[in-house]
Amino acid sequence: MTDSNPVSRRRAIALAGVGVAGVAGAAALGGALVRGAVDEHDDPAAGSTAAGAVTFTGEHQAGIVTPAQDRLHFVAFDVVTKDRDRLIQLLKDWTAAAARMTAGQDAGPVGATDGILEAPPDDTGEAIGLPPSGLTLTIGFGPGLFRDAAGKDRFGLAAKRPAALVDLPNFPGDTIDATISNGDIGVQACANDPQVAVHAIRNLARIGIGVVAVRWSQLGFGRTSSTTQAQATPRNLFGFKDGTANLKAEETDAIRDYLWVRDGDGPAWMTGGAYLVTRKIRMLIESWDRTSLGEQEDIFGRVKGNGAAFGRANEFDEIDLTALNGDGDPVIAVDAHVRLAHPSVNGGVKLLRRGYNFVDGSDGLGRLNAGLFFIAYQRDPRKAFVPIQLNLARHDAMNEYVRHVSSGIFACPPGVTGAGDFWGSTLFA
């Protein structure tokens, strides 16, 4: 019985006395223990391709051109400290934890189960035995980090705010809920297993206690965009393929021109980064489901089946916005979604979209609370999301069936390059 006496069940105590944040902060990038060597979870998502690890370090952050994973947990934090050093330490601790978790390790070097009994574990344990599952963690800084709602420059960053990090305008028809919008810091977790994505965000929140607080958070599934040419275009909850012309990782010229921030674009700390816009778009699916197939297709300007634009045979056939039908009317209506969202009517600008479907239960009015959590990365929102969304908000026939209820914009710094580097190092340098 001695072994089982709770008082005597002591574990490795090499790190005794090191608190949660300290443990994470002490961990070298890429160091130490691999999470649960035995895969004890028979999750079908843990297949050979979907289970692997995505490299955390690099010139750019992972989770942007990375082939879109199938599950999302996005979180926006408010920073609740006024202490710049504590914020920097948290970013260092988070970086160490993110490097570990994306490699399939526990959030901290001690782990969920092997610490001393007198201290909280430095990992919460629900991902024990799960493979990396393609986890990426991507951070961005919101306008509030540079100057808070009261106009105060809490962290001495106001002069470093990029002009491209605009306060998004109120677009026509917007019904934004401020309580689930914006935030000082946003983190996108994408993985092929929702438990892995949730575990990552939950542990970042745990590590951040006292420095940040969760402002809002969103789960998503069944990605709505493909970010590589190898990925088929998935279907959104309207049942349509959308985003055929999405910016793909293979389009190196377009990626250079429209995705990554370049030298001279603004403050140097953003070079190699990108701007992230999130929009939670509620779909009025009960109304949509009572709409005729013809009207649905007219709204999109696409055939529902194979996703071909009107006038074309296949999804990836180049769209012809000039074609007229026998009556002399445009084959693709002037208010059709494919027309208004197409780069050729938006000055050639492209967005890299990697959104997700969501269902957040019901709305208390007999309807599912469902839709699209839109995520788009770009070099400059003033030339990309803002004009495109203005165009859509003014003219898109789809507006009858959607409501934008949450909005966020974040400046995502370049990637972490190696040991000693941390999320936001260029901003806080």
Site for a copy of itself in 161-220 (CB under 8 A): 179-180, 192-195, 198, 201-202, 205-206, 209, 213-219
Alpha carbons 128 and 110: distance in angstroms, whole number: 13
253 lies in the site for a copy of itself, by CB under 8 A: no
Span 348-377, contacts to a copy of itself by CB under 8 A: 357, 359-362, 364, 366-368, 370
User: Sign of the CA dihedral 382, 263, 55, 104?
Assistant: negative
Under the criterion CB under 8 A, does residue 126 sit at the interface with a copy of itself?
Answer: yes
Q: Within its chain, how far is the Cα of 105 from the centroid?
A: 21
Residue 46 to residue 131: CA distance in whole angstroms: 7
Question: Nearer to a copy of itself by C-beta: 75 or 384?
Answer: 75
Q: Is 22 in the site for a copy of itself (CB under 8 A)?
A: no
Taking the complex as a whole, how short is the minimal distance between the CB of residue 226 and a copy of itself, in angstroms? 9
Of residues 88 and 331, the one with the C-beta less far from a copy of itself = 331
Q: Which of 88, 64, 57 is nearest to 427 (CA)?
A: 88
State which residue, 119 or 390, has the beta carbon closest to a copy of itself. 119
Which residues inside 24-43 make contact with a copy of itself, applying CB under 8 A? 40-43
Ordered DSSP codes for 74-128: EEEEEE----HHHHHHHHHHHHHHHHHHHTT--SSSS-SSSS-TTS--SS-STTT
Specify the residue, 100 or 160, whose C-beta has the smaller distance to a copy of itself.
Answer: 100
Does 418 help bind a copy of itself (rule: CB under 8 A)? Answer: no
**Smallest separation, CB 389 to a copy of itself (Å):** 23
Indicate the SS3 state at residue 388: helix
Binding flag, residue 231, a copy of itself (CB under 8 A): yes
Q: How far is the CB of 119 from a copy of itself (least distance, A)?
A: 6
Q: What angle do CA 184, 189, 193 make, to 5 degrees?
A: 155
301-340 footprint of a copy of itself as x/- string (CB under 8 A): --xxx----xxx----------xxxx----x---------
Cβ neighbors of 288 (< 8 A, separation 6 or more) are: 238, 296, 401
Count of residues in contact with a copy of itself, rule CB under 8 A: 104
> Strand pairing of 274-283 and 136-141?
unpaired
Dihedral sign, CA of 408, 414, 415, 416? negative
The burial class, CB within 10 Å (0-12 / 13-18 / 19+), for 360 is: middle
Q: Report the alpha-carbon distance of residue 343 to residue 52 in Å, rounded.
A: 34
**Binding test (CB under 8 A) with a copy of itself, winner from 285, 388, 393, 411:** 285
Nearest distance from C-beta of residue 380 to a copy of itself, angstroms: 30
CB of 48 to a copy of itself, least distance (A): 9
Window contacting a copy of itself (CB under 8 A); options: 45-53, 135-143, 152-160, 340-348: 45-53
* Cβ-proximal residues to 41 (8 Å cutoff; 6+ apart), any chain: 129, 130
Per-residue x/- marks for a copy of itself, 52-91, CB under 8 A?
A: ------------------xx-x-x--x-x-----------
Nearer to a copy of itself, 154 or 379 (CB): 154
Cα separation, 329 vs 334, in Å, equals 9
